[in-house]
Structure 1
């Protein structure tokens, strides 16, 4: 029986198109690093370091370690100084991005219902951002981060979507079996791949991403309204499994 719901964050819990966020995000990061890197260097190094996390298969290194090692190597700057700059960015400038987001009432209501029914909740976002950034985005979605037993940040995780090992690591951390879980997301490739482990999947279509135009084999497909109706029809389970503790 399903007792745990994994949610993608961007384009799922937090409704928006990545392009709308990307432009403002890079503008602010570039400005933050302007004293040590040229704008084109910052963007190039960020993309390459992010890609390094995505393709990484070394289970001994967290995504953060992979990112910082790569960015330090590319920029030839002091790692501790870079880390301090990034930390300050997410503590300050990053907060101003909240203005571009509007929560979905269907999402907030769905989470409320799942909590009341006793489901364990996980934010299964691609772990290429620090926890501080993810906590803010969860809050921008109109949600309480404390309602989730795990938010997959780059400090904690060792793999990224669509690597199936990412989902295996989540299951290990939360001590759940695949048949106990459902993954809900908007990316055909990155989110629905969880089904290969036996995890049930729900593809949210409002901000659907299908970069390679592949045929989806999601167990359920629908928009936010459909998702809300689906969640309303889920059975009540033991409250001991509730995410909020």
Structure 2
């Protein structure tokens, strides 16, 4: 066994079609927030997309939370931070609508339970573009508990995003782990397999694979989540 297990969330622990999830997310967010803020739904969507783009290139000087809200506010011309309670309420309530675009795999909880029983350390290495409340919700949708993980990357505690290798280096520093006895498990060829450059072992879960550039991943461990569980427990 490895000492440390890093798991991606969306498309890995929580199976989903990303486009379908995004559509449900924006539909419910716009219904809640657009009238309250006084901007058109597409303006709100563009603002969120602008914030996401800014986080994707964040250099760590500021955390992703601050970078997101500055960029999103710049796009729509309003200080969106004054609506923080509105967005918090959305993630606690209406965000649940997006759950219907996700599924549950029994092998997520089975894998987490097995690792815990055998003394492995668990880290939820999801791209930190969502707030803590939304990330914890999605872990619960996946049938696992946030308490299962000793560290969870969210936009409040992170200054980088995948596939920036500094994202993984930051996890190593904060959790005091070494890539050499760790494995990154995820579904994104670009964002998860890049951890191998630092010495992480990797496992590509192919049930909801994302392979934007049609890269050859045959040299990496890969297979369904069920296959990963078999690999884990053999």
1:96-115 equivalences under 5 Å are: 96-115=97-116
Task: Tell me, in whole angstroms, the C-alpha distance in 2 between the residues paired with 1:119 and 1:218.
Answer: 25
Aligned residue in 2 for 1:118:
119
Unaligned runs of 5+ in 2: none
Task: Tell me, in whole angstroms, the C-alpha distance in 2 between the residues paired with 1:67 and 1:96.
Answer: 23
TM-score (norm 1): 0.91
Give a deviation string over 1:43-83, Cα, whole Å, max 9, x none: 111111101100122x2200000001111122222343232
Aligned residue in 2 for 1:24:
24
Contact 2:140 / 2:146 at 8 angstroms: preserved in 1?
Answer: yes
Following superposition, the deviation at residue 100 of structure 1 comes to 3.7
Following superposition, the deviation at residue 126 of structure 1 comes to 0.5
Task: Tell me, in whole angstroms, the C-alpha distance in 2 between the residues paired with 1:84 and 1:107.
Answer: 32
Matched, 1:10 2:20: no
Following superposition, the deviation at residue 16 of structure 1 comes to 1.2
Match of 2:227, SS state, is helix
Task: Tell me, in whole angstroms, the C-alpha distance in 1 between the residues paired with 2:51 and 2:103.
Answer: 29
Residues 175-184 or 79-88, more deviating: 79-88
Aligned residue in 2 for 1:54:
56
Give a deviation string over 1:79-131, Cα, whole Å, max 9, x none: 43232221121122112333443311122111111111110001100000001
Task: Tell me, in whole angstroms, the C-alpha distance in 1 between the residues paired with 2:53 and 2:79.
Answer: 21
Following superposition, the deviation at residue 217 of structure 1 comes to 6.3
Following superposition, the deviation at residue 225 of structure 1 comes to 1.5
Task: Tell me, in whole angstroms, the C-alpha distance in 2 between the residues paired with 1:15 and 1:220.
Answer: 19
Task: Tell me, in whole angstroms, the C-alpha distance in 2 between the residues paired with 1:19 and 1:217.
Answer: 26
Paired residue total: 232
Following superposition, the deviation at residue 218 of structure 1 comes to 5.5
Task: Tell me, in whole angstroms, the C-alpha distance in 2 between the residues paired with 1:2 and 1:120.
Answer: 9
Residues 34-43 or 142-151, more deviating: 34-43
Contact 2:28 / 2:94 at 8 angstroms: preserved in 1?
Answer: yes
Matched, 1:202 2:233: no
Contact 1:182 / 1:202 at 8 angstroms: preserved in 2?
Answer: yes
Contact 2:47 / 2:76 at 8 angstroms: preserved in 1?
Answer: yes
Task: Tell me, in whole angstroms, the C-alpha distance in 2 between the residues paired with 1:148 and 1:17.
Answer: 24
Match of 1:5, SS state, is strand
TM-score (norm 2): 0.95
**Alpha-carbon distance change, 21 to 218 in structure 1, aligned in 2, over 3 angstroms:** farther
Unaligned runs of 5+ in 1: 234-245
Matched, 1:150 2:156: no
